[in-house]
Chains A and B, each alone.
Chain A
Amino acid sequence: QSVLTQPPSVSAAPGQKVTISCSGSSSNVQYNYVSWYQQFPGTAPKLLIYDNNKRPSGIPDRFSGSKSGTSATLGITGLQTGDEADYYCETWDTSLSAGVFGGGTKVTVL
């Protein structure tokens, strides 16, 4: 059972938008920075979003992050078949003194 809760899967047609939620608590999401990672099968994860809503260089602006209270959200617009992957949120948990990941969300392009 993950400390951060994500939906197991989301799907949409090409060109559409999907959002992935990441629900936590006051000891993690609410007062700490959230990051998001994309992982294709058999490969290492890749940083998509850091500091709640910032994109590293090279990440297209189709990917966006936001946070409100104890929840964070990853948005993907203009969905492409190449976006089919697993997505994870992550933050620090102050009570646990540990990093925590969400359980991951599989994005399917219909």
Chain B
Amino acid sequence: QAQLVESGGGSVKPGGSLRLSCAASGFIFSDYYMSWIRQAPGKGLEWISYISSSGGSTYFADSVKGRFTISRDNAKNSLYLQMNSLRAEDTAIYYCARDLFKSFHGWFDPWGQGTLVTVSS
């Protein structure tokens, strides 16, 4: 059964950096597009980035473009989100999610349990 587990969340000061990880198991990780989606406290979902199965193609929401980088290590079955120049509005639970099928459609299943990032002075 496909499973995703995020880690790396925590508290950081504005302007700081954090690197999130997502460990995948139960499926052939290198076959699937992967995404990061976040949810601010009490707010809705916000898609922030996706990466192709090979890692050669990436997309970002305007809200994080130029500050966040998505990457993957298919040998380690892991997805990463490097977050720089963090702002208070980046405070959220960050979820990693797999695409449902082996090509990009933006249908997210499964999701990880999420990791909380708090940006505060």
Contacts from A to B (Cβ < 8 Å)? 2, 32-33, 35, 37, 39, 44-47, 50-51, 56, 86, 88, 90-92, 96-104
Contacts and interface: CB of A to CB of B under 8 A. Distances in A.
27 contacts: A2-B44, A33-B105, A35-B107, A35-B108, A39-B45, A44-B95, A45-B45, A45-B108, A46-B109, A47-B100, A47-B107, A50-B109, A56-B109, A88-B44, A90-B47, A91-B106, A96-B62, A98-B59, A98-B61, A98-B62, A99-B35, A99-B50, A100-B47, A101-B37, A101-B44, A101-B46, A101-B47
Q: Which secondary structure dominates chain B's binding surface?
A: strand
A86 B106 CA distance: 19
Interface of B: 35, 37, 44-47, 50, 59-62, 95, 100, 105-109, 111-114
Q: Which secondary structure dominates chain A's binding surface?
A: strand
Contact of B59 (A35, A97, A101, A102): A97
Nearest to B93: A44
Contacts of A35: 106-108
Contacts of B114: 44
A86 B107 CA distance: 17
A51 B105 CA distance: 8
Given A50-B107, A92-B106, A99-B61, 18 more contacts: A35-B106, A35-B107, A45-B95, A46-B111, A47-B107, A47-B109, A51-B105, A88-B44, A90-B45, A90-B106, A96-B62, A98-B47, A98-B60, A99-B47, A99-B50, A100-B47, A101-B45, A101-B47
